[in-house]
Structure 1
Amino acid sequence: MATERFEDIVETFEFLDDWEDRYRHVIEMGKAFAPLDDAFKVPATKVEGCASQVWLVPTVEEGRFDFAGASDAMIVQGLIAILHELYAGLTLPEVMAVDAPAELARLGLDEHLSAQRSNGLRAMVTRIRETAAKAKA
């Protein structure tokens, strides 16, 4: 299950033949993603397991999941933007139902990210799922 916004990313990635073009697109998505206020860059919002610094600030309003986020690495900021398109606006049960590895594999990310970046991406997905599970409980 993927949002329409995520499906748009999949289509864009299919259109971009070269991984370098896709990489640039991920960076551009990160640059366009709303910045996170420095006041939220605290230990409680920091995602452990990422090579770079990553902060995620989840919110649940009227049963819908959303989050703000930031990273000190441009490519990771783009990965945050991609995860936002995958999860934002979903209900808590829908968040839990997303098969993030399968959805992200459609973008070919698993083949082109370093092991450290892949671990960081998994850590972000884990944080999102844990937050949704806690909010649902």
Structure 2
Amino acid sequence: MSLPSAAAQALAEFEVLQGWEARARLLIQWGERLEPLSEAEKTEANRVHGCESQVWLVAHAHGGTWHFRATSDARLLRGLLALLLVRVNGADSAQLAQLDVAGWFQALGLGRQLSPSRSNGLNAVLKRMAQLSAR
């Protein structure tokens, strides 16, 4: 699967940064770009279980591809979600199932900074995406 243009942009932005502080600042900026979810969308049915923080995920199929929206109550996690969404939006179910999330965050230079709980949370989000796209 080739990179969507927004994912290629993210990769270009992160590749030039040196050090965690610069990446963390950019990560928070990416999180601020997330399209907000309405209070009506922040339901238990849309909550992703397996995350330490609160995470909500909404999925829409369009022409055989998937488009997701998500948010979290944690600033860094919102940034990670934004980066995950630019990578997966527009993928079909088979592409979602084959996505290497760890590899994507390694490419962004964020792999080593993912704590086990954040990594588990992102995997829970990806698992939920796969469940929603399999319906």
Deviation at 1:73, TM superposition (A): 0.7
Q: How many angstroms apart in 1 are the aligned matches of 2:98 and 2:52?
A: 27
5+ long unaligned stretches in structure 1: none
Question: In the alignment, what sits opposite 1:19?
Answer: 20
Q: Deviations over 1:48-77 (max 9, x none)?
A: 111110000111111110011110111111
- 5 Å matches for 1:45-84? 45-84=46-85
5+ long unaligned stretches in structure 2: none
Whether contact under 8 Å (2:15, 2:109) holds in the other structure is: no
Question: In the alignment, what sits opposite 2:91?
Answer: 90
**TM-score by structure 2 length?**
0.91
Q: Which moved more, 1:33-42 or 1:90-99?
A: 90-99
Q: Which moved more, 1:65-74 or 1:90-99?
A: 90-99
- 5 Å matches for 1:98-117? 98-117=99-118
Give the aligned CA root-mean-square deviation in angstroms: 1.3
Q: How many angstroms apart in 2 are the aligned matches of 1:113 and 1:96?
A: 21
Q: How many angstroms apart in 2 are the aligned matches of 1:119 and 1:49?
A: 7
Deviation at 1:95, TM superposition (A): 2.0
Q: How many residues align?
A: 134
Q: Deviations over 1:2-55 (max 9, x none)?
A: 323212211111111121111111111111111000101111111111111000
Q: Deviations over 1:57-103 (max 9, x none)?
A: 11111111001111011111111111110011122222223222212
Q: How many angstroms apart in 2 are the aligned matches of 1:105 and 1:57?
A: 25
Deviation at 1:104, TM superposition (A): 1.9
Secondary structure at the aligned position of 1:83 is classed as helix
